[in-house]
Amino acid sequence: MKTGKVSPEAKVGILVLAGIVLLFFMSFRISRLERVRGEVYTALFPSVSGLVVNADIEVAGVPVGKVEKIGLERGKAKVWMRIGRVELHQDAEAIIKTHGVLGDKYIEIKPGSPEAPLLPAGGTIGKVKSAPDMDQLFSSLESAVQGIGDLGQSLRELIGEEDGKKAIRELIVNLRDASTGLKELIGENRERVNNIIANLEDFSQGLKPLSQRAERTLANLEEISARVKGGEGTLGKLLTDDTLYYDAKEALASFRRLMAKVEGGQGSLGKLMTDEKFYKEAEKTMKKMQKAAEGVQEQTPITTLGALLGLFF
- 84-136 confidence digits (pLDDT tens): 889 999 999 999 998 876 678 999 999 999 999 999 988 999 999 887 666 56
Bigger pLDDT: 258 vs 66: 66
- Collapse the DSSP code of 73 into the 3-class scheme (helix H, G, I; strand E, B; otherwise coil) and give the result: strand
C-alpha–C-alpha distance, residues 262 and 257, integer Å: 9
Regarding beta strands 56-59 and 62-73, do their DSSP bridges make them parallel or antiparallel, or are they unpaired? antiparallel
pLDDT at 245 over 90: no
Per-residue confidence (pLDDT) for residue 90, from 0 to 100: 92
Q: How confident is the model at residue 28 (pLDDT cuts 50, 70, 90)?
A: low
Q: How confident is the model at residue 167 (pLDDT cuts 50, 70, 90)?
A: confident
pLDDT at 57 over 90: yes
Q: Name the phi and psi angles at 112, rounded to 5.
A: 100, 175
Per-residue confidence (pLDDT) for residue 117, from 0 to 100: 92
The fraction of the chain above a pLDDT of 70, given in percent, is 67
- Collapse the DSSP code of 212 into the 3-class scheme (helix H, G, I; strand E, B; otherwise coil) and give the result: helix
Regarding beta strands 93-98 and 76-83, do their DSSP bridges make them parallel or antiparallel, or are they unpaired? unpaired
Q: How far apart are the first and last CA of the chain?
A: 207
pLDDT at 33 over 50: no
C-alpha–C-alpha distance, residues 81 and 313, integer Å: 147
Per-residue confidence (pLDDT) for residue 1, from 0 to 100: 44
Count of helix runs (H) and strand runs (E) in the chain: 8, 8
DSSP lists the bridge partners of residue 125 as 43
pLDDT at 44 over 80: yes
Backbone torsion region of residue 19, taken as left when φ is above 0, otherwise alpha when ψ lies between -120 and 50, otherwise beta: alpha
CA 145 from chain centre, in angstroms, equals 38
Question: What would the mean pLDDT of 179-199 be, rounded to a whole number?
Answer: 77
Average pLDDT for the chain = 76
Per-residue confidence (pLDDT) for residue 138, from 0 to 100: 63
Longest dimension (CA), the chain: 207
Per-residue confidence (pLDDT) for residue 147, from 0 to 100: 73
Per-residue confidence (pLDDT) for residue 195, from 0 to 100: 79
